[in-house]
Amino acid sequence: MRATGFLSFYDRFATAPMLVLIVKDEGVSLYRAVQLVTVYVLLYALGQPIWGVLSDRLGRLRALRLALAGTLLGSLASVGAPGFNELLMARAVTGFFVGSLFPSMLTMVGDTFAGPARAREISGLQTYTALGTTVATLAAGALAVWADWRVVFAVTAVGAAVFLVLLRRVRFPAGGGPHHDVRSAFTAWPLWTYGLGMLEGAILLGILTYIVPALERDGVSTELAGVLGATYGAGIIGGAWLARRTVARVGRTVMIALGSTTLFVAFLLASLSQGVVALTFTAVLIGTSNAFLHSSLQGWATDVAPAARATAVSVFVCSVFLGSSAATGLTAGLTRHGYGPVFAATCVATVVLGVLAVGSHALWCRRRTELMGESGAQV
């Protein structure tokens, strides 16, 4: 599961570092080349609910095999694309199938583990996704220069093929089938978690986009800014290590509070200074917050609709993407005069997120405990 998480985030972040090379090789403008990322992310996000329903209907392994087969074919098509238009179509198809991999892993964790053990497994999964992000950010461009940019896509194809072979021997509980209830993924509490996911995506991922441009505005070279921005991945890895050792002692509600506080401190630093030291610490703290806050909200998403777990998880992931895109689109115009005001406004939004997430999760836990107590009394 962790290796599949690594592969999904590697492929998701591998294209951006190669855009300049693709522009030269394919003879297109940078604007056209950026569409490779745009269509990939769009299909990645829009496919989430579809994959959730398929996983609940077909079962976890069937949906996962289908996604890996599509990832393999899409990656091979990317390697063999004779022109830019064909490459654009291949990347869109690949994004649709890769979009299923990480939610599938979250769902399978939710099916297999409970309580603190589930939180630890989600933190472990996040460590590998962070490694995938970091490897893609730092190595994809270098690999494309030393060999060819098509080799980067070939790595995904090889990974998908290997996992398909390994899955032939895997047995897993059905986790779906005719007794699932997709409607339960659209009741009050699941909808609330999707709203929180959208707000968190806007703050954590949407505004994270500005760390590297803010460093470049401060005079840092593009290469160094990319390396410093990649410390976000180091924050996730370190935060996941801390989270695995903390969650059993304090519980998910406190984890959400710790993650929200860390995120607030991160953007407070960024609002006070856009220098190299402040923004590097901001990137690390955002990654650390991801390990505490985001993994806790993901864990909540696996709990909130057990009868339609895959659907709930996929819609939650989709909501995070939508929030990220909305935040970037709404704030882009505000950065023309500097990034300080955007980071300062994000501090306020983080307080709102923390209050809503901590308060509502505590209430949900209390309601669930009461319901479980009533059920036990009836039995």
Residue ending a domain, choose from 126, 150, 176: 176
In this prediction, residue 379 carries a pLDDT of 31
In this prediction, residue 378 carries a pLDDT of 37
**If we measure between CA atoms, which residue out of 209, 236, 223, 256 comes closest to residue 355?**
256
Q: Are residues 230 and 96 in the same domain?
A: no
Does this model's pTM top 0.85? My answer is no
Taking only the tens place, the pLDDT of each residue in 82-138 is 999 999 999 999 999 998 888 888 888 888 887 778 878 887 787 888 788 778 877
Taking only the tens place, the pLDDT of each residue in 210-269 is 887 788 777 777 667 777 877 888 888 888 888 888 887 888 899 999 999 999 999 999
Residue ending a domain, choose from 148, 176, 204: 176
In this prediction, residue 325 carries a pLDDT of 77
Q: Are residues 196 and 170 in the same domain?
A: no
Residue 201 near residue 328, CB atoms below 8 Å = no
Residue ending a domain, choose from 133, 150, 176: 176
Calculate the average pLDDT of the chain.
85
> How many structural domains compose the chain?
2
Q: Are residues 133 and 201 in the same domain?
A: no
Q: Are residues 248 and 363 in the same domain?
A: yes
Q: Are residues 236 and 349 in the same domain?
A: yes
Name, of 47-51, 342-346, 351-355, the range with top average pLDDT.
351-355
In this prediction, residue 223 carries a pLDDT of 65
In this prediction, residue 35 carries a pLDDT of 84
Q: Are residues 4 and 42 in the same domain?
A: yes
Does the pLDDT of residue 177 top 60, yes or no? Answer: no
Residue labelled with tokens 């917050």: 289
| Stretch (H or E) spanning 55 | helix 48-58
Q: Are residues 76 and 114 in the same domain?
A: yes
In this prediction, residue 222 carries a pLDDT of 63
* Measured distance CA(291)–CA(28) in Å, rounded: 39
Q: Are residues 167 and 226 in the same domain?
A: no
For residue 114, is it left (φ>0), alpha (ψ between -120 and 50) or beta? beta
pLDDT above 90 coverage of the chain, percent = 35
Q: Are residues 24 and 138 in the same domain?
A: yes
Q: Are residues 149 and 261 in the same domain?
A: no
CATH of the domain at 345: 1.20.1250.20
Distances (CA, A) of 131 to 15, 73, 125, 226, 232: 16, 24, 10, 15, 11
Token pair, residue 346, equals 């994000």
Alpha helix segments (H runs only) across 59-187: 60-80, 84-98, 101-112, 115-146, 149-167
* Measured distance CA(5)–CA(230) in Å, rounded: 18
Q: Are residues 318 and 359 in the same domain?
A: yes
Q: Which domain holds residue 116?
A: 1-176
- Count of Cβ atoms closer than 10 Å to residue 241 Cβ: 14
**If we measure between CA atoms, which residue out of 145, 120, 206 comes closest to residue 19?**
145
Mean pLDDT score, 55-65: 85
Q: Are residues 332 and 210 in the same domain?
A: yes
